[in-house]
Structure 1
Amino acid sequence: MTSVTFLLMIVVFIATLGIQFWLQRTYARYSRVANARGLTGAQVARTILDAHGLHGVRVEPVPGALTDHYDPMQKVVRLSEPNYASPSSAALAVAAHEVGHAIQDAKGYAWLRVRAQLLPVANIGSMFGPWIFLLGMLMSFNETLMSVGIWLFGAAALFQLVTLPVEFDASNRALAILQRMNFLDNREMGGARAVLTAAALTYVAALANSLATILHYVAIMQSAREE
């Protein structure tokens, strides 16, 4: 059983690498396609926020590539420097997606609030869960420690599960807004949709990785119990 779950982990890991490669390739492709209106990610983010009455939410550049995120504590949409200044279809898609999170926050989107509540436990689980499980293995397969490690890591997986509807909803909002406010034409919308679809699949892959790891941990504990 442990060999099967280990093989599953390898397959999921390889699939994750493939999805990451697809995201990078898709993003690079549509980063070279300028939108017809010549608007930058920062301009579109600001326009959408103002259109939704979110005048107090700032838009700021942040170093790095694909480091874009919405900070609900500071009420800031942070766009990676390339997306902040770029007039590409990819930049507009990412900017609109992050603004989608700001709109979720303003509207009290339930899944966003649940994710925020899970975040502290998820951080602890992802950081310490595997180490506690390993410690249990080293201590003559101590089932109590191994179980604690699994449950803690499970909290991180639960966070990833809740993240899916949050990210999918933000992308759906982004695409609808980009089309409704005529930021992108039909051809450019195809590029925006491709970028957001590839990004969404990375969250699915992360969850699959965590679930495969949990199954492997459970199989190890079950094998130790049977010996």
Structure 2
Amino acid sequence: MLGGLGGYLIYIALLMIIPLWAQSNVKNTYKKYSKVATSSGMTGAEVARKILNDNGIYNVEVRETKGMLSDHYHPKKKTVNLSTDNFHGRSMASSAIAAHEVGHAIQDAEEYAFLRFRSALAPIAATGSNMAIFLIIAGMIFSQGLFLLGIIFFSAAVLFQLVTLPVEFDASNRAMAQMVSTGVIRNNEERPTKKVLNAAALTYVAAALVAVAELVRFIMLYALSNE
């Protein structure tokens, strides 16, 4: 019993440590390269606008948004939203993040399949994530049917996390290619730019790993409860 409890506590600790490590890594990397200016001297907003224009995308607006690292692309509103530091910043970090968000805009313009799938899955995943735990807890107490329904709902949230991975990695690959081809960065700036993009990508990998691990745990609990 002690060994089982000890293993479970280690498992829970890992579920907490992995995301915290990924978040710490991206913050430290961002902090480091937000102090390093690019040779082009362009702000994040200018980088985003240039890449959009060079790709013939004129219906997407570049906006400033509040919050730290709150940068995102809104496919319905057709806006690239950059946090204040990245909107006005002239650093490698600002340029990399701006280019990454524009990568999503390019995906949208090209009707990238995984982005379309993720957008369609988003409301289902949000509902599933919110309801799953309550259904699973209720299922443990009252009904195996509720437990199974909770697992199905949670599976939608896990699928969303998994589909997010190719979307984010593709956006980063597009960002690197665009920054080089448009002259935003030079050859000697590619390596630090990749570090910023890779650090951000790790947060999505961590989230996916945690989600899959939780799903496996729920499935095992369901199987054990039926023995």
TM-score class, shorter-chain normalisation, is over 0.9
Aligned equivalent of 1:130: 133
Residues 93 and 196 of structure 1 are in contact (CA less than 8 Å); yes or no, is this contact kept in structure 2?
yes
Residues 132 and 154 of structure 2 are in contact (CA less than 8 Å); yes or no, is this contact kept in structure 1?
yes
Residues 122 and 155 of structure 1 are in contact (CA less than 8 Å); yes or no, is this contact kept in structure 2?
yes
Aligned equivalent of 1:58: 61
Mapped to 1, the partners of 2:133 and 2:211 lie a distance apart of 11
Aligned equivalent of 2:199: 198
- In the superposition, the TM-score normalised over structure 2's length comes to 0.94
User: What SS does the aligned partner of 2:81 have?
Assistant: strand
Q: Tell me the C-alpha RMSD between the 2 structures.
A: 1.6
Structure 1: runs of 5+ lacking an equivalent: none
**Match of residue 71, structure 2, among 62, 68, 73:** 68
Mapped to 2, the partners of 1:53 and 1:204 lie a distance apart of 31
From the superposition, tell whether residues 6 and 110 of structure 1 become closer, same or farther in structure 2 (CA, over 3 Å).
Answer: farther
**1:23-172 paired onto structure 2 within 5 Å:** 23-139=26-142, 142-172=143-173
Show CA shifts across 1:119-159 (max 9, x none).
111011111111111111232xx210011111101100001
**What count of residue pairs does the alignment treat as equivalent?**
224
User: What SS does the aligned partner of 1:119 have?
Assistant: helix
User: What SS does the aligned partner of 1:70 have?
Assistant: strand
Deviates more, 1:36-45 or 1:185-194: 185-194
Residues 9 and 209 of structure 1 are in contact (CA less than 8 Å); yes or no, is this contact kept in structure 2?
no
Paired residue type of 1:172: N
Residues 86 and 97 of structure 2 are in contact (CA less than 8 Å); yes or no, is this contact kept in structure 1?
yes
- Displaced runs of 4+ in structure 1, greater than 3 A? 1-9
Residues 40 and 183 of structure 2 are in contact (CA less than 8 Å); yes or no, is this contact kept in structure 1?
no
